[in-house]
Structures are given as structure tokens and as C-alpha cells.
């Protein structure tokens, strides 16, 4: 791994927000490919924090500090990422959010940024978004897709609830429903009757482009 990416990774593992911000600024100044810096540097750091936490080597404060550090870096990098990735092949409109009970929003925001950069009209509803809010906002905004993020095995059940609620209201066919987040999979999407799953932000742009890009 490039030394610079390693430094970005370590800044997140150490939970050092100042260092993460300095490295993000350096990446911008040096016109680094921002998606690579995010995925090969900062995201590798938060994944390692997650592993250390799972192993019992880290406790909640370290998890929170790691999350703070990557969020600080991304607050600087996301706008530049949007500029670097700017393309205009998307025509679709969508709402995106992290499901109710779940406050993990780092990956969701990355997906949202990439979709906006690729020309989609994105309404980011934030995190801890209730089933009814997803459906009300999607109807109100006239979107063709509801994209949902879930990072917990408990909260991913809300993705099923969204599909069920759309069916109950007789409006399932109006929207493509996409699922994402670490515990999700193609199999999970099939099981709950969603229209698609993507493993990361790049795959999400491709998938959503295929599903609603031409509409
Ligand atoms: C950072 C983090 C936190 C931060 C979140 C900060 C924030 N604002 O997001 C904080 C510290 C707050 C946190 C809290 C908790 N966390 Co946490 N957290 C993580 C951690 C380490 C990283 C998540 C992350 O940001 N990854 C980086 C991003 C870029 O990746 P991503 O989210 O997966 O997103 C990518 C893809 O999944 C995809 N994607 C994401 N969303 C979408 C949506 C669509 C539509 C598509 C197509 C694609 C897509 O594209 C993204 C970009 O590539 C994970 C471990 C892990 N490896 O996932 C644990 C993890 C998710 N957390 C966990 C837990 C248990 C918790 C807590 C319950 C801990 C506690 N006891 O309080 C709380 C829950 C709070 C809540 N109610 O939500 C567990 C979940 C276990 C489980 N089986 O459910 C994990 C897996 C850690 C572990 N190994 O045990 N956490």
C-alpha cells in the first residue's frame, strides 16, 4: 500500500481527527485521486477499527474517535470527490437514507455523494430514517428509487419493512428499492424482494444507473 494511504489509515486507527484533516487537505492540495484516498486509506482505517473493536482490543471510545476522524476527513474530501467524479449520465431521482435505529452514515453519505456527482438527483434523508418517512419523501419528491443503508443485523430488518409497506400501500411498482451496507448482500435483497444490492459506492452508481439511469 502506498505510504500516504497507510498514513490516512493510521490516522483513523489512532482516532486522530487533526491528523486526518491535515492528510485530507494534503490529498486535495496534491490533487490526489480522492476516491482512492478514501477507499484505500481512510476506509481501510475504519474497517481496522471495526475489527479491533470486534476482537475486544478497542472499546467504544476508540470506535467513536475513529468514526470522528474519518468523518472529519470526509467532510473535506466529499465535495472534492463530487467535483472529480462529475459526469452526467444519470437521469434518475432517488431518496437515500440509513434506516431507523441506525446511525451509521459514513458509507451512505459516500454513496450519496457519488450518485450526485454522477448526475442523479439525490435527496439524502440522513440517518435513523423511519419506514414512513422513506415512503412519504419518495412519493412527495416523485423519485423512482428508494436506496436504503443498514449497518446492523438488527436494523437491516427495516429494509424488509420498507418493501412490505410499499406492497401494503399498493405502490411497490412505483419504486426500485436498493439495499446496501455491510451486513447486506445480493441474497438479502432477493430474500426481501428488493430490486438490487451493491457492495460499495462505485457499484451503487453502476447498479442505480442500470435500474433508473435511463428513465
Ligand atoms: C464507524 C462505526 C460506528 C460509528 C458510526 C459513525 C457514523 N456516523 O457512521 C459509531 C461509533 C457511532 C458506531 C456505533 C455503533 N456500532 Co458501529 N461500526 C462502525 C464501523 C467500525 C465502520 C462502519 C463504516 O463507516 N464503514 C466505512 C464505510 C465506508 O463502509 P460501509 O458503511 O460499509 O459503506 C459502504 C458499503 O457498505 C456500501 N453502502 C453503504 N450504504 C449503502 C447504501 C446503498 C443503497 C448501497 C447500494 C450501498 C451502500 O457503500 C459504502 C461505501 O463503499 C463498523 C464495522 C464495519 N467494518 O462495518 C461498526 C459496526 C457496523 N458497528 C457495530 C455496532 C454493534 C455498533 C453499536 C451497536 C455499538 C454500541 N454498542 O453502541 C452502535 C450502534 C449505534 C446505532 N444505533 O446505529 C457492529 C454491527 C454488528 C452487527 N452484527 O450488527 C459493527 C459491524 C462492528 C463490529 N465488527 O462488530 N459504529
The ligand 1 atom nearest the CA atom of 151? 61
Quote the pLDDT of residue 117: 85
- Domains of the chain, by residue range, sit at 3-84, 93-212
- What pLDDT score was predicted for residue 141? 95
- pLDDT at position 131, please? 98
Residue nearest to atom 82 of ligand 1 (CA): 152
Residue 1 pLDDT: 58
Please report the pLDDT score of residue 215 as a whole number. 46
* Interval between CA 169 and ligand 1 midpoint (Å): 31
Q: Which atom of ligand 1 is nearest to the CA of 71?
A: 8
Q: What is the pLDDT along the chain (215 residues), one digit of tens a residue?
A: 589 999 999 999 999 999 999 999 999 999 999 999 999 999 999 999 999 999 999 999 999 999 999 999 999 999 999 888 877 666 799 999 999 999 999 999 999 999 988 889 999 999 999 999 999 999 999 999 999 999 999 999 999 999 999 999 999 999 999 999 999 999 999 999 999 999 999 999 999 999 997 64
Question: CA 176 to CA 120: how far, in whole Å?
Answer: 14
Nearest CA to ligand 1 atom 69: 60
9 φ, ψ (degrees, to nearest 5): -60, -45
pLDDT value at residue 214: 66
Q: Which mutation among 104, 115, 159, 186 tests ligand 1's pocket best, with the greatest number of atoms within 8 A of CB?
A: 104
Q: What is the pLDDT of residue 87?
A: 75
Cell numbers for 96, please give them.
437515500
DSSP classification of residue 199: S
Residues with CB under 6 A from ligand 1: 43, 46-47, 49-50, 53-54, 60, 63-64, 67, 101-108, 110-111, 147-149, 151-153, 178, 180-182, 198, 200-201, 204
DSSP assignment of 106-155 equals: HHHHHHHHHHHHTT-EEEE--SSB-HHHHHHHHHHHT-SEEEEE--STTT
Q: Which atom of ligand 1 is nearest to the CA of 148?
A: 45
Q: Residue 190 has what pLDDT?
A: 98
Cα separation, 158 vs 44, whole angstroms: 27
Report the predicted TM-score, pTM, of the whole model to 2 decimal places: 0.94
Q: 3-84 adopts what CATH topology? A: 1.10.1240
Q: What per-residue confidence (pLDDT) applies to 19? A: 98
Strand arrangement of the beta sheet that strand 196-197 belongs to:
121-124, 93-98, 145-149, 176-180, 196-197
Tell which CATH classification among 3.30.720.110, 3.50.50.60, 2.60.120.10, 3.40.50.280 matches the domain 93-212: 3.40.50.280
Amino acid at each position: 500500500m502506498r505510504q500516504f494511504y497507510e498514513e490516512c489509515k493510521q490516522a483513523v486507527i489512532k482516532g486522530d481527527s487533526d491528523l486526518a484533516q491535515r492528510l485530507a487537505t494534503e490529498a486535495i492540495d496534491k490533487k490526489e485521486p480522492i476516491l482512492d484516498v478514501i477507499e484505500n486509506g481512510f476506509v481501510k482505517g475504519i474497517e481496522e477499527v471495526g475489527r479491533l473493536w470486534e476482537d475486544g482490543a478497542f472499546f467504544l471510545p476508540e470506535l467513536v474517535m475513529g468514526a470522528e476522524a474519518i468523518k472529519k476527513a470526509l467532510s473535506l474530501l466529499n465535495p472534492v470527490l463530487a467535483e472529480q467524479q462529475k459526469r452526467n449520465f444519470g437521469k434518475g431521482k432517488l431518496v437515500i437514507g440509513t434506516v431507523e435505529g441506525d446511525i451509521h452514515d459514513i458509507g451512505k453519505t459516500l454513496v450519496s455523494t457519488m450518485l450526485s456527482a454522477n448526475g442523479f438527483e439525490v435527496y439524502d434523508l440522513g440517518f435513523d430514517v423511519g419506514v414512513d418517512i422513506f415512503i412519504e419523501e419518495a412519493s412527495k419528491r416523485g423519485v423512482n428509487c428508494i436506496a436504503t443503508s443498514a449497518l446492523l443485523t438488527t436494523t437491516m430488518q427495516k429494509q424488509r419493512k420498507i418493501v412490505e409497506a410499499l406492497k401494503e400501500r399498493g405502490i411497490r411498482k412505483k419504486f426500485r428499492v436498493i439495499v446496501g451496507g455491510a451486513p447486506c448482500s445480493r441474497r438479502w435483497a432477493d430474500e426481501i424482494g428488493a430490486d438490487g444490492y451493491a457492495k460499495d459506492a462505485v457499484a451503487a452508481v453502476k447498479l442505480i444507473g442500470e435500474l433508473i439511469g435511463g428513465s
